[in-house]
Amino acid sequence: MNLILFPFERVIKGANIAIYGAGEIGEYFLRQLAAVPFCHVSWLVDRKFKSLGKQQQLIFLPPDLMNWQQPEQIIIASQLSEEEITEYLVSEGVDPTRIVGIRAEQKIDVLDLIQTRLSATPADDEWDAYYKLAENSAQAQYNRFIQPVLSRLEGVLDYSNVLDFACGKGRIAEIVHTRCQYLQLVDASFDAIEFCRQRFAKYSNISMQCNGTDQLPQQTSSLSLIYSWDAMVHFSYKSLDFYLGEFNRVLKDQGYVVMHHSNLGALVDNMRVFDQWNLNPAGRSRISKDDVAFIAQHHDFEVVEQTLIDWECNDMDCISVLRKTAGVRG
Ligand SMILES: C[S@@+](CC[C@H](N)C(=O)[O-])C[C@H]1O[C@@H](n2cnc3c(N)ncnc32)[C@H](O)[C@@H]1O
């Protein structure tokens, strides 16, 4: 199922244009320009129009009634007749540089696009734009959400060997590392970890590793604290189950988890929430604080506290603090 994109990059912004072709492709173009008012479509030309008509600002007419010198550019909305239309326009004295045809890169396979979106996981998604944008809000998010939790647990949390799970480019680690005797950073993105390598090169007590989708690279019973910010909010029930099992394995007894996750699953009565994380607001997964409490208890964690926080809507997220209560599970 193909969709043809309007050739935005070859049309002059704000230009007065004619679209030649009032079929399916012409419809696509008009709909895209209604959503993104990039230029003005003043004429819609097609042989199927027998006379001149007008609908709001748009004049529709057959080619022989069109004054081809008026539009700044003529956009051909037909693949089958493109050659024929171009020849006709040139024979009418139109400078070929004013004619914009359809190129291969405009063709989008919609099913492919949907399939790509539906199969994207938080680990293989593209976070580059996020990293740039989020860097500036790190201190504000820390002050508002993270610091109050850490302050409440001052003297309780042990910072001797800490893991920042799904650290991204290390914006939160940049703030938290001063508390830590040793800090390990883990992320699924190779580029993000390489960035962290440069960013924290001068600190001998910070190390970083890229993880796959299997076990965490940390040793069993080695960590005193794991925190994770703005990453597990996207995780499915199954991934949370897997990683809480892993957190239990790599934490020492009485080690803590401070984990930011979704609570969108609790809001299903107020809004539409999809099972697929990246269709939901802010990419939140359909998970509630009760789900996390249930999974955590299943993995021998005590739920010390859960604080609902507002993100794009009230109570959208939660910060759960968990304490490992038993030894490593068999
Ligand atoms: C929205 S970013 C947040 C990054 C960072 N925590 C921050 O606040 O800037 C989500 C990060 O989670 C990472 N990620 C997603 N799934 C992961 C997984 N299974 N293991 C490790 N990292 C993961 C992504 O690579 C990405 O860097």
- Residue 329 is assigned to a structural domain of this protein: no
* The domain boundary residue, chosen from 118, 152, 187: 118
**Ligand 1: centre distance to CA 188 (Å):** 7
What is the pLDDT at residue 328?
A: 46
Shared-domain flag, residues 270 and 314: yes
* The domain boundary residue, chosen from 118, 147, 168: 118
- How many percent of the chain have pLDDT more than 70? 98
Question: Across the chain, how many H-helices and E-strands are there?
Answer: 10, 15
In this structure, the residue with its CA closest to atom 17 of ligand 1 is 123
Report whether residue 28 contacts ligand 1, using a CB cutoff of 6 Å.
no
With a cut of 90, say whether residue 274 has pLDDT above it. yes
**Ligand 1: centre distance to CA 192 (Å):** 9
Shared-domain flag, residues 29 and 97: yes
Shared-domain flag, residues 156 and 46: no
Look up the pTM and report it.
0.78
Report whether residue 311 contacts ligand 1, using a CB cutoff of 6 Å.
no
What is the pLDDT at residue 117?
A: 85
Shared-domain flag, residues 140 and 265: yes
With a cut of 80, say whether residue 258 has pLDDT above it. yes
The domain that holds 263 is classified in CATH as: 3.40.50.150
With a cut of 60, say whether residue 111 has pLDDT above it. yes
What is the pLDDT at residue 124?
A: 85
The Cα–Cα gap between 217 and 232 comes to: 18
| Strand-pair partners of 265 | none
Number of domains within the chain: 2
Burial class of residue 114 (count of CB atoms within 10 Å of its CB; 0-12, 13-18, 19+): exposed
pLDDT single digits (tens) 154-169: 999 999 999 999 999 9
Shared-domain flag, residues 219 and 251: yes
Shared-domain flag, residues 68 and 151: no
Report whether residue 196 contacts ligand 1, using a CB cutoff of 6 Å.
no
- Residues 76 and 101: beta-carbon distance below 8 Å: yes
- Residues 206 and 173: beta-carbon distance below 8 Å: yes
Strand bridging mode 53-55 / 58-61: antiparallel
Shared-domain flag, residues 191 and 279: yes
The Cα–Cα gap between 169 and 127 comes to: 10
- DSSP E strands in 33-177: the ranges are 40-45, 53-55, 58-61, 73-76, 99-100, 107-109, 162-165
pLDDT band at 2 (very low <50, low <70, confident <90, very high): confident
Shared-domain flag, residues 12 and 132: no
- Residues 16 and 40: beta-carbon distance below 8 Å: yes
What is the pLDDT at residue 277?
A: 96
**Ligand 1: centre distance to CA 170 (Å):** 10
Shared-domain flag, residues 108 and 143: no
The mean pLDDT value for 165-181 works out to 98
Shared-domain flag, residues 20 and 150: no
Shared-domain flag, residues 239 and 177: yes
- Residue 16 is assigned to a structural domain of this protein: yes
Q: List the domain range (segments joined by +) for residue 220.
A: 120-324
Report whether residue 127 contacts ligand 1, using a CB cutoff of 6 Å.
yes
